[in-house]
Chain A
Amino acid sequence: MSATLEVRNLRTHFFTRAGVVKAVDDVSFSVGRGEVLGLVGESGSGKTVTGFSVIGLIDPPGRIVGGSILYQGQDLAKLDEREMRHLRGNRIAMIFQDPMMTLNPVLRIDTQMIEAVRAHVKTSKAEARARARDALGMVGIPSPEERLNAYPHQFSGGMRQRVAIAIALLHNPDLLIADEPTTALDVTIQAQILAEVQKLASEHGTAMIWVTHDLSVIAGLADRIAVMYAGRVVETGDATAVLDHPVHPYTHGLIGSVPSRNKRGERLRQIPGMTPSLLSLPPGCAFRSRCGRATESCTQEPPTSEPSPGHTARCFHPVSA
């Protein structure tokens, strides 16, 4: 099966006055048709930048400096801005983290949806509007016809995220990048949105990259998981393999910090410290300063081990299950 998206050795660096920030440094993964890839990591691990790199929306001083982003065999990193624009919102769509901020506050919903339709399909305003209305209905917005005339501030956060999802799915994209779209929402709304997106994506065979720091969200959603730390993928594999038999100490730490019923009464394990500054990353394993298993050898580039087929980790001292 050829993957919808295959990212190989992607490097996205930010050239700031203080130095080069290697936000994404040698990241590879692939997503197939109808597959959901969970991109997991703490804040600042480069997962969001990875998403923006794929859709080609890295703002200066950031730049993709290496690697390839193969979408159905064609390298997105080499496309010019016009060709990229034809894919954006059409074949590759994105949903953002904060629904309160993704819609333009001074434009009506219909304006923002009709322009999205007409950016890729030559059609009359009335037809575009009808399409927008149907899309709103599909994501579960009651009385879509009237809601089209509303402004974003007249919607709740959950409803706004539904509108954003409706816009993202207007053209039945092949690839959907979801950047923590449920983080800002109530749990009940979160579950609804998750179910909604899952349903819509599976109906059209949309490949999804679900960026999140929330392992409990990813557990029920992702087919495969890539764990990112300091701009690199440290562990990747099938969701069940990674979650049930994590190999990298960092993945272990992440899973350990999720509260659960089975661990009641026990102290919640935490990962000490915080993500290192990407400005002055020393060579070797970036996690070693926070890792209980680190030794001298961790100052070298860690090797890739493969505990089970398709499940890989970059570590000198993998945790054996």
Chain B
Amino acid sequence: MFTWLVRRLFQASFVVLAMTLIVFIGVHVIGNPVDILISPEADQAERAKIIAEMGLDQPLWHQYLLFLNGAVHGDLGRSFVFNEPALRLIGQRMPATMELAVSAVLMAVCFGVPLGLYAGFRPNGIVGRVIMSGSILGFSLPTFWVGLMLIMVFAVQLGWLPSTGRGETAMLFGIRWSFLTWDGLRHMFLPALNLSLYNISLVLRLTRAGVREILPSDYIKFAHAKGLSPARVIFVHVLKNIMIPVVTVVGLELGSTIAFAVVTESVFAWPGMGKLIIDSINVLDRPVIVAYLMMIVLIFTTINLVVDVLYTMLDPRVRLENKA
């Protein structure tokens, strides 16, 4: 277990390093921030001074090495726009995105698994078919459109839920959270639902497929032959087997959900990382873009690691040492 962990951490750091290179080159290709940030009236001397201040007068490889040096010391550069450390900017926005993504994934599990179980046990019933058809919509409807529709129906027409912002927040561990207040929860519900729709469909279909596969197996028949109650068979024998693929996918999807919260955050004006990155891309605020992408890479690799460890708890046949 320990050697495995060390090896995995080593691999992960390589992934991160490779990402820095790609991201660094990538943001230099999309445009020159100088054109946007410096006012056209500035004279040549002022221009040169500002460019030197931002470190943009150096050759690219030199900038990269400077960036790496800073990154090792926990400094991913200062935002050109806010003149604040990029990491701090992201850190301020991260809790909002995190709580949104985590609640979206929780919703996916809470709705997806029961619906999938039902559809799996009653594959030919009308309700089962409706669930399955509905999940196709969940897959294929574009997030921004669904978001707009949710606002239209629940915020504008019915007026049940607010449509923008985080609402009231409360402090916990020195960070502001929305999920701690009733008003915050009300604000969070629509964006979280919007973000989780795709995941609900995914989890639902996975669960159903798992049920269909496991139900005819001998060990389920044997469990019935032991005289166990149907509840015990479903919630212990079937569910524990299904959790293996579900945990994998949910884990991986948590990463994507954080990364793709961009759209939902824009639609619902949710002040998270996604909104920050969109604004930063618009003004080519390189340090923020780079820092954001680095954060996402870190989150992804961490989640993958956690999923692998969770696997061993769910599936006794997986032993980490054997998987070099």
A149 to B290, CA, bound (A): 50
> Is B226 in contact with A115, judged by CB distance below 8 angstroms?
yes
**A131 at the B interface (CB under 8 A):** no
Min Cβ gap A185→B in Å is 15
> Is A88 in contact with B225, judged by CB distance below 8 angstroms?
yes
**B171 at the A interface (CB under 8 A):** no
> Is B219 in contact with A94, judged by CB distance below 8 angstroms?
no
Chain A-chain B contacts (Cβ-Cβ < 8 Å), number: 78
B85-109 CB mask vs A (1 if < 8 Å, else 0) is 0000000000000000000000000
Given the interface pairs A115-B232, A151-B317, the reply to whether A106 lies near B240 with Cβ below 8 Å is yes
One of A19-27, A97-105, A293-301 at the interface: A97-105
> Is A119 in contact with B317, judged by CB distance below 8 angstroms?
no
> Is A57 in contact with B224, judged by CB distance below 8 angstroms?
yes
Min Cβ gap B12→A in Å is 28
**A85 at the B interface (CB under 8 A):** yes
> Cβ of B228: which chain A residues have Cβ within 8 Å of it?
85, 89, 115-116, 119
**A153 at the B interface (CB under 8 A):** yes
B216-249 CB mask vs A (1 if < 8 Å, else 0) is 1111011111111100100011001100100000
> Is A119 in contact with B229, judged by CB distance below 8 angstroms?
yes
> Is B219 in contact with A104, judged by CB distance below 8 angstroms?
yes
A251 to B217, CA, bound (A): 32
**A225 at the B interface (CB under 8 A):** no
> Is A151 in contact with B316, judged by CB distance below 8 angstroms?
yes
Band of interface residues on A: 20 to 34
Main secondary structure of the interface of B (DSSP, over half): helix
**B314 at the A interface (CB under 8 A):** yes
Number of interface residues of B (CB under 8 A): 23
> Cβ of A111: which chain B residues have Cβ within 8 Å of it?
236
Given the interface pairs A59-B216, A151-B316, the reply to whether A107 lies near B240 with Cβ below 8 Å is yes
> Is B226 in contact with A88, judged by CB distance below 8 angstroms?
yes
Best-surrounded residue of B216, B219, B225 (most CB of chain A within 10 A) = B225
A-B contact pairs, 20 of them (CB 8 A): A85-B229, A87-B227, A89-B225, A90-B227, A94-B222, A94-B225, A96-B218, A96-B221, A101-B217, A103-B222, A104-B241, A106-B244, A106-B314, A106-B315, A107-B237, A115-B228, A116-B227, A116-B228, A153-B316, A164-B222
A residues near B, CB below 8 A?
55, 57, 59, 85-90, 93-94, 96-98, 101-108, 111, 115-116, 119-120, 151, 153, 164, 167-168
- Please give 20 more A-B residue pairs, beta carbons under 8 A apart, in addition to A105-B315, A105-B317, A167-B222: A57-B225, A59-B216, A85-B227, A90-B227, A96-B225, A103-B219, A104-B219, A105-B241, A105-B316, A106-B241, A106-B244, A106-B315, A107-B237, A111-B236, A116-B226, A116-B227, A119-B228, A153-B316, A153-B317, A164-B222
